[in-house]
Every structure is written in structure tokens, then in C-alpha cells.
Amino acid sequence: MPYTLIFGNNFILGNPKRIRIHDIVLFHLGKNELGPHLSTVIQDSLGSTLVRVDNNRCTYCHQKLNNKSKEPEHILITNSQGENILESRVLDKNTILVGGMFGVQQFLLVATQNYIVMPSGKKLMHCRIDAHNSDIMLTDDHIELG
């Protein structure tokens, strides 16, 4: 059964594999018997690792962050201001919701439950795309197969 990613109020159907911007992978997705799962590494602006998640298991969380939920069905990591650094919630066996602050040295992309704020400041929301078991590319204007 195919799974769906909800990312910034955008619905990405059909088993998306990797979510990318430019040549950078923000996170990987897959599915096992428990449902969809996420793997990612989130870094600060200097390139230091803040969070590492492997198949819905937080394997590293920097000491300055708060790991509020350690269940694989719901990962919630916040900073000292209460902002979500990463939230991953398995809504059912076929749907995963992902949000947070995905940063690398060149940029910061913020995904809330309502929209994605691109590094340029533009907001992406209300898109619907079928991944057809492939990667997804985020651009300033839309979400496309990538």
C-alpha cells in the first residue's frame, strides 16, 4: 500500500523516497510493517549535527535541544524557544507528517503544518503531487519530481 507525506500542508502521494532542495537531501522516507518512516540529519549553520534520525528513531539529539517524544510514531524535538526543530508524526500506516527547520550551511528551510518557507522567503502550500516512487524536488515556486 502506498504512503503519503504531508509536508507544510502539501500532500506528496505515491511513496516519495527523498525530499531535496537544490542538490541537498533534506530527508529520506520509506515504509516498513509499522508504517512510513523518516531518516535525516539536521545541522546548524556551522555544519555541526543537531539531530540524527534513522527510521523514526532519534539516535542523536544535541544537548541544547529538547527531545519531547521518543516514540517512533511521534518525534518532537524543540529548541529553547519552543520552536520545532523536527516533528515527525505517523498519522496512520499510510501517512506521515513532517515539519521542522532543515538547515545546512547555505540556507534554512522551515516547514510548519501550514506551509513551507523556502530559503528565498516564498511560501509553498496546498500542492498535491504523486511521487511515483521517486524523489521530490522543492523549488521556490513549486514541488516537482526530482
Average pLDDT over residues 29-40: 94
* pLDDT score for 105: 64
**Average confidence score pLDDT of the chain:** 93
At position 51, the amino acid (one-letter code) is V
How many domains, in total, are found in the chain?
1
End-to-end CA distance of the chain: 22
Position 69 scores a pLDDT of 82
The pLDDT of 65-89, averaged and rounded, is 93
Residues paired with residue 88 on neighbouring β-strands, in sequence order: 75, 98
- Please determine, for residue 1, whether its predicted confidence score (pLDDT) is greater than 90: no
Residue with cell 533534506: 26
Q: Is the pLDDT of residue 104 over 80?
A: no
Between the alpha carbon of residue 59 and those of residues 17, 62, 125, 138, the distances in Å are 21, 10, 30, 27
Residue 106 lies in domain: 4-145
